[in-house]
Structure 1
Amino acid sequence: MFASRSSVLLALTTLLTLFSTIDASPVERRRNNQDSNLVLNQYKVPTTVGASTLPTPTGTLKAIALGRGTQNYTCSTASGTPVSVGAKADLFDVNPLLKSITIAQGTQLLNLLPQFLLNFDLSLVQRYSIPVLGYHYFNGGGQPMFDLGSTGFLVAKKTGDIAAPGDAYAGQFGVGYGAVDWLNLVDAGGSTGISEVYRVETAGGMQPPTCTAAGPIQVQYAALYWFYQ
Structure 2
Amino acid sequence: MSTTRPSTLLTLTLLLTTLFSIISASPLASPVQPRNNQSPGANLASYTVPTSDGSSTTLPAPTGTLKAITLGRGTQNYTCAAATSATPSPVPVSIGALADLFDVTCLLNLIPASEGEALIDLLPPYLINFPLSLVNQYSIPVVGHHYFNSAGKPTFDLGSLGFLTAKKTGDIPAPANACPGQGDQGYGAVDWLNLVDAGGSVGLSEVYRVETAGGKQQPACDGFVGNIEVQYAALYWFYH
TM-score range, shorter chain: 0.7 to 0.9
Counterpart CA distance in 2 for 1:58 and 1:183 is: 15
Alignment check: 8 A CA contact 1:114 1:222 kept:
yes
Counterpart CA distance in 1 for 2:182 and 2:10 is: 17
Spell out the pairing of 1:5-84 with structure 2 (5 A cutoff).
10-16=15-21, 33=39, 35-36=41-42, 39-49=43-53, 50-77=55-82, 79-84=89-94
CA distances 1:202-228 after superposition (whole Å, capped 9, x unpaired): 000000001131000000000000000
CA shift in 2, pair 1:33/1:214, >3 Å: closer
Show the counterpart of 1:120.
130
Show the counterpart of 2:97.
87
Counterpart CA distance in 2 for 1:205 and 1:75 is: 16
Counterpart CA distance in 1 for 2:234 and 2:140 is: 16
Alignment check: 8 A CA contact 1:33 1:96 kept:
no
Counterpart CA distance in 1 for 2:40 and 2:218 is: 43
Counterpart CA distance in 1 for 2:11 and 2:141 is: 25
Q: Superposition RMSD on alpha carbons, in Å?
A: 2.5
Q: Which runs of 5+ in 2 are unaligned?
A: 1-8, 26-34, 84-88
Answering whether residue 230 of structure 2 is matched by residue 219 of structure 1, we say: yes
Alignment check: 8 A CA contact 1:19 1:129 kept:
no
Spell out the pairing of 1:139-150 with structure 2 (5 A cutoff).
139-150=149-160
**2:47 maps to amino acid:** Y
Alignment check: 8 A CA contact 1:155 1:187 kept:
yes
**1:128 maps to amino acid:** Y
> What displacement does 1:101 show?
1.6
**2:122 maps to amino acid:** L
Spell out the pairing of 1:173-192 with structure 2 (5 A cutoff).
173-192=183-202
> What displacement does 1:40 show?
1.1
Counterpart CA distance in 2 for 1:52 and 1:84 is: 24
Alignment check: 8 A CA contact 2:41 2:105 kept:
no
CA shift in 2, pair 1:7/1:94, >3 Å: closer
Spell out the pairing of 1:104-115 with structure 2 (5 A cutoff).
104-115=114-125
Counterpart CA distance in 1 for 2:125 and 2:17 is: 12
When Rg is computed on C-alpha atoms for both structures, the one with the higher figure is: 2
The alignment covers a number of residue pairs equal to: 215
Alignment check: 8 A CA contact 2:23 2:140 kept:
yes
CA shift in 2, pair 1:167/1:161, >3 Å: same
Q: Which runs of 5+ in 1 are unaligned?
A: 21-28
> What displacement does 1:97 show?
1.3
Alignment check: 8 A CA contact 1:63 1:227 kept:
yes
Q: Which has the higher helix share?
A: 1
| Other structure's SS at 1:13 match | helix
| Other structure's SS at 1:81 match | coil
CA distances 1:134-188 after superposition (whole Å, capped 9, x unpaired): 0000011110000000000001000011000000000001000000000000000
TM-score by length of 2: 0.83
CA distances 1:46-81 after superposition (whole Å, capped 9, x unpaired): 001311100000101000000000000000026420
CA shift in 2, pair 1:46/1:19, >3 Å: farther
> What displacement does 1:14 show?
3.4
TM-score by length of 1: 0.87
